[in-house]
Each structure stands twice: as C-alpha cells, then as structure tokens.
C-alpha cells in the first residue's frame, strides 16, 4: 500500500483553512471597562470617606452616615456672671481651707 499523501517537510509551513483573527476590539473594551469600574470604586470610596469625616457635605453620600450619638446630654442651668463668680469663689475657698486645693495663696510659705 502506498500512501498518496506526502508528509510535510519540517521547513514548509502548514497550511490551514481557518483564519484566526486577534480579538483586539474585545480586549480593549474589556480592559477599559474593568479600568473604569476600578476607578469608579476608588472614587466612590474617597467621596464616602470625605462625607463620613464631615469635612464637606456631599449630597448623596452624607445621608448614609450619621455621626456618633452622645451617651448622655448634660444641661447646665442658666447662670449669671455674678452667680458664677460666687459659686467658683466659694468652692475655691472651701478647697483652700480644707487643704485639697492645688493652688496656694501668696500668704502661705
């Protein structure tokens, strides 16, 4: 039996009927889309951090963050300047006479 087909020589190129085209358009679009998504995620994180810090009020992002709430609210009674001086003076005098004061009068050595 004799073979009718001859084997290709090592130097001869192999001929194929299928032409393979590179997918440059799809690769460029995919790379650009992924880059845009990553850029938008980074931008989103930066804008959210600015809104969370309270430095600027960012319209959409600021409503997602509310600052810490106080554990308690202390309401001081309204006091005039004279009443405040009397209160501080009496507390200071009591502390000095009992020896608990951090302050020393000029008469003490």
The per-residue pLDDT for range 31-89, each reduced to its tens digit, is 999 999 999 999 999 988 888 887 777 787 777 777 778 899 888 888 888 998 999 89
Residue 61 CB: number of other CB atoms within 10 A? 16
Predicted TM-score (pTM) of the model is 0.40
44: tokens are 């989103």
CA distance readout (Å), 32 to 26, 39, 43, 44, 63:
10, 10, 16, 18, 31
CA distance 18 to 1: 31
Neighbouring residues of 62: CB distance < 8 A, sequence distance ≥ 6? 51
How far is Cα of residue 61 from the mean position of the Cα atoms in its chain? 12
Which residue, 81, 80, 47, 78, is CA-closest to 64? 47
pLDDT tens-digit profile of 66-76? Answer: 777 889 988 88
Distance of CA 82 to the CA centre of its chain: 48
Q: Are 64 and 51 in contact (CB under 8 A)?
A: yes
């Amino acid at each position: 039996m004799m073979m009718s087909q001859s084997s290709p020589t090592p130097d001869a190129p192999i001929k194929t009927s299928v032409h393979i085209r590179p997918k440059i358009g799809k690769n460029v679009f995919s790379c650009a889309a992924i880059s845009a998504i990553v850029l938008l995620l980074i931008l989103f994180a930066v804008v959210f951090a600015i809104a969370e810090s309270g430095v600027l009020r960012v319209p959409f992002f600021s409503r997602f963050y509310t600052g810490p709430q106080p554990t308690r609210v202390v309401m001081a009674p309204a006091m005039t300047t004279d009443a405040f001086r009397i209160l501080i003076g009496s507390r200071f005098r009591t502390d000095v006479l009992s020896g608990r004061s951090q302050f020393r009068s000029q008469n003490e050595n």
